[in-house]
Amino acid sequence: MKPPLNKFAAILALTLAALCLTPSAWADGKQKIAVVVSTMNNPWFVVLADSARDRAIELGYDATIFDSQNDTAKEAANFENLIAGGYGAVLFNPTDANGSIANVRKAKAAGVPVFCIDREINATDAATAQLLSDNYAGCVKLGQYFVKTVGQTGTYVELLGLVGDNNTWNRSKGFHSVVDRFPGLKMVAQQSGEFDRAKGLEVMESMLQAHPDINAAFCGNDAMAMGAYQALLAAGKAGQVKVFGFDGADDVLKLIAAGGIEATGMQFPKTMARQAAEFADAYLKGKRDFPQKVPVEVQLVTRDNVAKYGDFGKK
């Protein structure tokens, strides 16, 4: 018969081994924050994710970026990993307003607070807070400027973003809430460019073949505006067709200054990302009363005021 002390030592060793394998909420003595972003294949989202990560690091956390590659399955896997990895909070840019809710609920059930950035989820009882660009108001301003520059008559095309994303429709509805009031302005084509530059180029090329005489193109983000501009350049129509974007990307600001693109809506990805990291920090220090939705203003950028903007914000 083995002495009972050996049995106790074995149990202790197993317990210690199990503890070593259990994920820790701390890395090198620092608590961990996850930044889960819809895609790192678009410079705007890279800025959003980097800003969130950098602010979390400034606040004393160990922060890691998880790329969902615009795929809800990858996003779900990211959440599984970060929950298992013992992360203390998530700064989250969702891929789908409805499809991402389950991931947020899973994190909440595991005691991990989630702070949505830029894109919302269609639930107010899952995330701790959501910091969202006021896309609708931004596109009301863009719509008003569109009418001012294009005039009250003419034809135009619209390049939509991802059709499952609320931002796509908030932008489109804000724009149309103004432009549709002018019956002389007719939309001759509307198609998704999936918020992607290459897709925007491709869609614009086919739209130009069907409608060579359009006066303007309203694009749901700056990546598609760049693609549309590229298609217009190739067709020898740059300058004839007025292009409008949304985001405030640096390459579009340069084109606005040069006269290639008419206007964009400046979102403030750095402001949103930093505020989300600060919310997470406050949560981890005990604060619990957060507003569920915090709208972040979008500002109209035109050739008249473009000098005031740059580096994804106001200079």
In the complex, the residues that contact other proteins under the rule CB under 8 A are: 97, 120, 122-124, 131-132, 134-137, 140-141, 143-144, 166, 169-170, 173-174, 177-178, 181, 268, 271-272, 275, 291-297, 299
Helix (H) or strand (E) holding 312: none
170 backbone dihedrals φ, ψ, rounded to 5°: -65, -40
Answer yes or no: are the C-beta atoms of 142 and 176 closer than 8 Å: no
Q: What is the DSSP letter of 100?
A: T
**Torsion (CA) 280, 281, 282, 288 in degrees, nearest 10:** 40
Q: Count how many Cα atoms sit within 13 Å of the Cα of residue 156 in the half-sphere of its side chain.
A: 28
Nearer to other proteins, 52 or 204 (CB): 52
Least Å distance, CB 239 to other proteins, is 28
Least Å distance, CB 43 to other proteins, is 22
Least Å distance, CB 313 to other proteins, is 12
The two structure tokens encoding residue 148 = 């001012």
Nearer to other proteins, 27 or 101 (CB): 101
Q: What gap in Å lies between CA 157 and CA 242, rounded to an integer?
A: 10
Nearer to other proteins, 88 or 174 (CB): 174
Nearer to other proteins, 33 or 178 (CB): 178
Strand partners, 263: 244
Q: What gap in Å lies between CA 208 and CA 109, rounded to an integer?
A: 50
Nearer to other proteins, 131 or 238 (CB): 131
Nearer to other proteins, 177 or 230 (CB): 177
Nearer to other proteins, 123 or 257 (CB): 123
Least Å distance, CB 188 to other proteins, is 23
Least Å distance, CB 170 to other proteins, is 6
3-state secondary structure of 241: strand
Nearer to other proteins, 50 or 134 (CB): 134
Answer yes or no: are the C-beta atoms of 138 and 169 closer than 8 Å: no
Least Å distance, CB 268 to other proteins, is 8
Contacts within 8 Å (CB) and 24+ apart, 82-85: 82/34, 82/36, 82/107, 82/112, 83/107, 83/110, 83/112, 84/23, 85/23, 85/32, 85/34
Least Å distance, CB 39 to other proteins, is 21
Least Å distance, CB 20 to other proteins, is 36
Answer yes or no: are the C-beta atoms of 108 and 270 closer than 8 Å: no
**Number of other CB atoms surrounding residue 298 within 10 Å:** 26
